[in-house]
Structure 1
């Protein structure tokens, strides 16, 4: 089992808390950098949510052949 699988398993059922933490940390970074990297921070937030947050629930599994 990879490290990513272990992290996902630990966070399972806590997707809303993960999303809030991602948003809060992104806002913190934007505040500290005075919004200089807002686009990159927003992209990172979206990718993290897709990987660990509620975006993971919305993804459809690939069809079985």
Structure 2
């Protein structure tokens, strides 16, 4: 699954650690999600959605969707 987390994070000038703190996970988890090595749980995806005020499907998408 692809995602726009790195772009959304950069727009706010946040580090991976800043984002990790905001959603209560480790920086390593953010790194793995951004690199596509790990797909977030649904509750975590909702946290990202609320934090960035963006629909989940605008943050996370299947490679064939774009």
Higher share of residues assigned helix: 1
**Greater CA radius of gyration, 1 or 2?**
1
Given the two structures, how large is their TM-score scaled by the length of structure 1?
0.27
Higher share of residues assigned strand: 2
Given the two structures, how large is their TM-score scaled by the length of structure 2?
0.27
Q: Which has the higher contact order (CA 8 A, sep 6+)?
A: 2
